[in-house]
Structure 1
Amino acid sequence: MSGASFLVVPQWQGSGSSRAMRLIDGADAIRGDLPTARTHQVPVPAAAGESLGTGVNRFSSLAVVREATQAELGLLEAPVVTIGGDCGAELAAVQHALAAHPPGDVAVVWFDAHGDLNDVESSPSGAFCGMVLRAILGDGPEGLASTGADRLDPAQLVLAGTRALDDGESAYVDEHGIRVVASGELDDPETIVNAVAATGASAVYLHIDLDVLDPSAIEGIGSPEPFGVQPERLTETIRALRRRFELAGAGLMEFAPETPDAAGHDLPVILRILGALTGPTGAPGGADGDR
């Protein structure tokens, strides 16, 4: 893997899953296959943290991780691939990438079975992993939500492979006209390339929650949803986006293996995704694809 920095953020406090602590093991397993010289890690508090009246579970620890991640990002050469941890571990990384570019220059493609678009009022769980994208759009408690150059405009967002939205999230998507590319539409990578082109952006930030994949392709995820994307389609789509747009940054989140052996079973798929993010893009249908 060349040309990228890696930042491991083994945050679990944003998760609402009973498997939350396994996210630490997942981040550690992935780190073992990353280039040591270009890989950094953010220290994550051992304490769960307190909500402090924000409506976000474990808010205090999440705010500490965000601040520590921001500090680390300032030292790394772009593009940075952030390894989680729960989806909230990527908060500072997306904000950092947005702030480093002119307004409207970066589109965010959110490869995720879920929208992560709840706010404090609509969240059914209080878990920040389901609110992180809404915070990047500017809705959330002080200390987490974007407020300036790091704020994403809904017109610059593309949801990809999303197939499980809460009612409040669906209403937000409809109200703001957010582009949604269904799992089946990813059979043709140009569909999402065209969706990003329609934003007018010249760069992309690629968020990848592993639950965007079909459960038949990966076991170590906490919230599997049927009818997901196959790995070869995901990697082809990532390469197609990188051929067309500058990579502003990326994140790979939510690996929660049950055991070290189980982690080893899933790692080949994860490494193929990381290879698509950081390796040669090739020509469409070229020899470096995953057919």
Structure 2
Amino acid sequence: MSVLRARCPGCRTMTAVAVDDDYECHSCGAVFHAGLVRVPRAWGAGGAAMAEAAWLELPYPETAVVERDTLEEQTETVAAALPRVPVVLGGCCCAHIGAIRGLSRRVGRLAVVWLDAHGDLNTPETSPSGDAWGMPLRRAIDEGSVGAEDVALVGTRALDPPEVAFMSASGIDDDIDRALAGAECVYVAVDADVLAPGELACFMPEPGGPTADELAAVLRRLSLGPVPVAGLGLTGLRPEADPAAVARLAEACLQPSRAADGRTTR
């Protein structure tokens, strides 16, 4: 697929064409404010359900499907395949690595707001499980795609001791304003397990967490804030998750704003 032409979610044909930051369908006339990148892989044991969830139907034109044999190949392919404003649908949280890498190449300073019940800050040496999906945020930081000072880790309540130590040493906390200060734009990474159990079908639920409405309010504030949202990632879902509920979260984060002259802007 090409980032210039995508599959319209309504017509199901390759008739959605990139126009500035948006996609306009030449068949039905619909306008979409983001393009969908599916990443149906889970880099760990027993993650088949997460991989299947990458096929949930969302109201955005499909610009790419990334399935690769290694995590590095996946990461680089996602980075290269991003539309102007991406919605990355995993799969596991490793899908975010490519999104962060690709967006960081476009801007001078990228912030990341990572909403997740888990820290995802382990390394191969510190991980209790060895599953790569417990390491993606740390990998994005260690490879230099985002600075630790530009990361907010929000909703986290299940941390391993090495992750706590890394947060203390690097200054990572849940302060979104701190992470956004000085950034040109922000990537928002949402693992569904950040929500309270029962709010949305997810792979690794943890006690506590916000309701879907509370999470949508956080995403809406980011969308309307002073730092533009460059993209959104949604991961950690199960295939029985309600697509409409997932779409509501995406729409809260990616709702367009209006300039004084009436033009749609990011």
Measured against the shorter chain, the TM-score band is 0.7 to 0.9
CA offsets, 1:216-272, max 9 Å, x none?
Answer: 212x21211011111111111111111112112210001123xxxx34xx2232111
- Tell me the distance in 2 between the aligned counterparts of 1:10 and 1:275: 21
Aligned-residue offset at 1:67: 2.9
Question: What is residue 7 of structure 1 aligned with on the other side?
Answer: 37
Task: State the AA in 1 paired with 2:103.
Answer: A
Aligned-residue offset at 1:278: 2.3
2:42 aligned with 1:42:
no
Question: What is residue 9 of structure 2 aligned with on the other side?
Answer: none
- Tell me the distance in 2 between the aligned counterparts of 1:86 and 1:155: 24
Question: What is residue 149 of structure 2 aligned with on the other side?
Answer: 155
- Tell me the distance in 2 between the aligned counterparts of 1:281 and 1:208: 21
Closer/same/farther in 2, CA of residues 232 and 211 from structure 1, 3 Å limit: same
Q: Choose which of 225, 236, 241 in structure 1 pairs with 2:206.
A: 225
Q: Any residues of structure 2 matched to 1:94-173 within 5 Å, and which?
A: 94-102=100-108, 105-138=109-142, 146-147=143-144, 151-173=145-167
CA offsets, 1:58-86, max 9 Å, x none?
Answer: xxx2122223223322xx2x221111000
- Tell me the distance in 1 between the aligned counterparts of 2:207 and 2:243: 21
Q: Does the 8 Å contact 2:38/2:89 carry over to 1?
A: yes
Q: Does the 8 Å contact 2:199/2:211 carry over to 1?
A: yes
Closer/same/farther in 2, CA of residues 206 and 278 from structure 1, 3 Å limit: same
TM-score (norm 1): 0.73
Question: What is residue 71 of structure 1 aligned with on the other side?
Answer: 80
Q: Which has the higher helix share?
A: 1
Q: Any residues of structure 2 matched to 1:15-26 within 5 Å, and which?
A: 15-16=44-45, 18=46, 20-26=47-53
Closer/same/farther in 2, CA of residues 34 and 15 from structure 1, 3 Å limit: farther
- Tell me the distance in 1 between the aligned counterparts of 2:257 and 2:234: 18
**What stretches of structure 2 of length at least 5 have no aligned partner?**
1-30, 259-266
Larger RCO, structure (CA 8 Å, separation 6 or more): 1
Q: Does the 8 Å contact 2:224/2:257 carry over to 1?
A: yes
Task: State the AA in 1 paired with 2:95.
Answer: A
Q: Does the 8 Å contact 1:5/1:81 carry over to 2?
A: yes
Question: What is residue 268 of structure 1 aligned with on the other side?
Answer: 244
Closer/same/farther in 2, CA of residues 250 and 270 from structure 1, 3 Å limit: same
Aligned-residue offset at 1:123: 0.6
Q: Which has the higher strand share?
A: 2
Q: Does the 8 Å contact 1:9/1:84 carry over to 2?
A: yes
- Tell me the distance in 2 between the aligned counterparts of 1:202 and 1:208: 20
- Tell me the distance in 1 between the aligned counterparts of 2:169 and 2:58: 42
Question: What is residue 83 of structure 1 aligned with on the other side?
Answer: 89
Aligned residue pair count: 227
Q: Does the 8 Å contact 2:91/2:235 carry over to 1?
A: yes
Q: Does the 8 Å contact 1:83/1:253 carry over to 2?
A: yes
Q: Choose which of 38, 54, 58 in structure 2 pairs with 1:33.
A: 58
Task: State the AA in 2 paired with 1:118.
Answer: N
**What stretches of structure 1 of length at least 5 have no aligned partner?**
46-60, 139-145, 182-191, 283-291
Aligned-residue offset at 1:176: 1.2
2:234 aligned with 1:246:
no
